[in-house]
Structure 1
Amino acid sequence: MERIEIYSSKKKSFLLLIGSLLFVVGGIYMFMNAENFTDYKLSNPLLIRSIGIASVLFFGLGIYVSIKRLLANQLMLIINRNGVNVNPEKSLTEYIKWKNINGFSEFKTQNQKFVIIDVNNSDYWIKKEESTIRKKLIKFNANNYGSPFILSANSMQMSHIELTKTLNENLNKYKQETEPLNSIEARDYA
């Protein structure tokens, strides 16, 4: 069985680390020197300190994630005959089956492109999710983009174009293989 595994990109993780470090240093500088920023539009030192703390916390998380990805290649996506596994860290056997995928579409926000996995059973995935935060995220995605699954190639070893091409090729290949079986099964149970 052909299996495609897509891992995190070390180059992109390194760039994330550098960017996060710069923002953490900037946040610390803002916190320590809040009074020096009073000449700008934000004249309240408390607000400037709050922004500095938020920057350190948020981009500190970016440092953690990037170091984790640099030390160990993180498996981001699995594509095979069973379907697409968008969360292999959680479960290696939980796939979005090809029969439940209608297709893939794209959307762009600012300079970032995303791939939407158009599924015919969004409610199943929302109900199945156990993590409260992740459940809210996939519910937001389903309400705003029509699908709980949105992929970005920014942290993957392949480009957005390669990801879209790979997903569409495998959808065409495996959906045709599974559809005749499904129609036979449906006929047998009718």
Structure 2
Amino acid sequence: MEKIEIYSSKKKSLVLLLGAIVFVALGFWLVIEAENFTGWRARNPMLTRGIGVASILFFGLGAFIALKRVIKSEIALIIAPEGLNVNPKKSLTDYIKWSEISGFDEISIQSTRIIIIGVKDSDYWLEKETNGFKRKLMQFNIKNYNSPFNISASGLTIASDELIATLIEYYEHYKNES
């Protein structure tokens, strides 16, 4: 079995880009036409402008990220004989070894399928994380799903069924090695 690199999906990023552009345009419209919206709940044009500015900033950032992904797909996951790399942007050589994985579980949150990667020592991975925000996310995942790692195929170039089948196949083949 050889190494598999899974990238972010350009098609899905393009859809996100188009949606973000629509919301940025709506934000500009709210800022420009704030005085004309006094008939709805927010009778104060400053509130309407604030909502518009927030929309421009938030969805503008989303548009920037989506455009970056449309131009150049980012590697999102590496499945290799050495193990599983769930954060290749941080390090291309930092694998969760197959022997450290206890199995996979699948949950669904509002029709989005998420694969939980069960690891034998969650605290080791939590201590290893240096980014404070990612550490908090890992703590949340451990508290709710008993694992610091999860994967959603929704933004990847692979279907969820194919991803879980590949992960299980590699796990079964390599779990007793290393």
| TM-score normalised by structure 2 residue count | 0.90
In the aligned structure 2, how far is the partner of 1:53 from the partner of 1:152?
A: 31
Structure 1 position 121, deviation (Å): 1.5
Q: SS of the counterpart of 1:164?
A: helix
Amino-acid identity (%)? 49
Structure 1 match to 2:166? 166
Partner of 1:143: 143
Q: Quick check: 1:156 aligned with 2:160?
A: no
When you count helix as a share of all residues, which structure comes out higher? 1
Question: Which ranges of 4 or more aligned residues in structure 1 deviate by more than 4 Å?
Answer: none
Structure 1 residues 18 and 84: alpha-carbon distance in aligned structure 2, compared to 1, 3 A threshold: same
Partners of 1:42 and 1:161 in 2: CA distance: 46
Please give the alpha-carbon distance, in whole angstroms, between the structure 1 residues aligned to 2:44 and 2:145: 38
Name the CA distance, whole Å, in 2 between partners of 1:57 and 1:29.
Answer: 14
Q: Does 1:65 align with 2:70?
A: no
Query: Aligned residue for 1:24?
Result: 24
2:91 aligned counterpart, secondary structure: coil
SS at the partner of 2:93? Answer: coil
Distance 1:138 1:49, change over 3 A: farther
TM alignment of 1:89-100, pairs within 5 A = 89-100=89-100
Task: Give the corresponding residue for 1:185.
Answer: none
State the distance in 2 between where 1:114 and 1:46 align.
Answer: 40
Cα pair distance change 1:43/1:165, threshold 3 Å:
farther
Q: Classify the secondary structure of the residue corresponding to 2:137.
A: helix
> Could you tell me which residue of structure 2 aligns to residue 87 of structure 1?
87
SS of 1:94's equivalent in the other structure is: coil
Structure 2 residue ranges without an equivalent (≥5) = none
After superposition, the C-alpha distances for 1:105-139 in whole angstroms (9 at most, x for unaligned) are 12222232211111122111111111111111222
Q: Which residue of 2 aligns with 1:187?
A: none
CA drift of 1:170 comes to 1.0
TM norm structure 1: 0.85
1:119 corresponds in structure 2 to: 119
Partner of 2:53: 53
How far is the alpha carbon of 1:31 from its aligned partner? Answer: 2.6
What amino acid is aligned across from residue 172 of structure 2 in structure 1? N
**Aligned counterparts, 1:37-52, within 5 A:** 37-52=37-52
Q: Secondary structure at the match of 1:105?
A: strand
| 1:13-65 residue CA offsets vs partner (Å, 9 max, x unmatched) | 11111111111111222233233333334444443333322222221121111
Deviates more, 1:80-89 or 1:31-40: 31-40
State the alpha-carbon separation in 2 of the partners of residues 129 and 88 from structure 1: 14
